[in-house]
Amino acid sequence: MRRSTARLGGFASLCLLAGCVGGLLGGGKPDSLYRFGVTEPAGTTKRLSSAQPTLLVEKVRFAPEIDGDRMLAVHEGSARYIKGVRWVTSAPSLIAQATVRELQSRMPGFRVTAAQEGARDGYSLALTIGQFEAQYDNASMLDTPTIVIAGDATLYQLPTHTVVGQRHFVTRVGATRSRAGEIVAAFDRATICYTADIADWITTSAAGQPPSGDAVCPTRS
């Protein structure tokens, strides 16, 4: 699943988007910070019960070239970091937070947590992300990109750590424009799709229960 980081080479930090900010070597405007993932409305925090089966979300592992706070774009076989924009924290941390929130929302019968303490029985979920990028499939970088999130999920039974199920997930969501704000919005939608797919897979395949909640991405590929 891991792709070589050699293709990054001298392309790193080049400006890909109209309207991007910041300088290559400093002295320019500070980078704009963005976040993605499921937002939780105020006052809807769910109380966790020790009587519920535990679902532990383990540390999310990313491929080396996307394991950080940089936003990656791919065009004609070359990968470049988008200049002037960063995630507010590392992408794996944001994905982990979004996954926990989505699982809590769509799996009310489980005690979903990212904490290590007290997870001696129940299930654990391991995620490995190999692609988290904006893909430009056309010749021009001015065309709108498609956000691609792809990786593997493995569900384990605790405390034996026996594999319950494995699956590869791919989500593609198109941006409306080739500008930072619209691309971040597409990353946000793709993250919701990706984590909802994982939640429904666990519910239907591992827990033997129907999914909770409506489909969030009926048109995704």
pLDDT of res. 4:
40
**How far, in Å, CA of 146 to CA of 74, rounded?**
10
pLDDT > 90 in the chain, percent = 29
Residue 60: name the closest of 133, 125, 138 by CA. 125
Question: Can you give the pTM of this predicted structure?
Answer: 0.77
- Region label for 32, one of left (φ > 0), alpha (ψ between -120 and 50) or beta (otherwise): beta
**How far, in Å, CA of 138 to CA of 136, rounded?**
6
Residue 65: name the closest of 133, 128, 118 by CA. 133
pLDDT of res. 60:
93
Looking at the predicted structure, is the pLDDT value of residue 71 above 80? yes
Average pLDDT, the chain: 76
What does the pLDDT look like over 97-152, one tens digit per residue?
Answer: 999 998 988 888 888 988 766 567 889 999 999 999 999 887 566 678 999 999 99
Which residue type sits at 49?
Answer: S
What is the CB neighbour count within 10 angstroms for residue 206?
A: 16
pLDDT > 70 in the chain, percent = 68
Q: Which domains does the chain have, with CATH numbers?
A: 52-66+89-206 (3.40.50.10610)
- Any idea how long the chain is? 221
What does the pLDDT look like over 194-215, one tens digit per residue?
Answer: 999 999 898 876 655 555 554 4
What is the CB neighbour count within 10 angstroms for residue 89?
A: 13
**How far, in Å, CA of 159 to CA of 146, rounded?**
40
Of residues 161 and 116, which shows the higher confidence score?
A: 161
Residue 53: name the closest of 152, 125, 101, 153 by CA. 125
Alpha helix positions (H), 68-179: 91-106
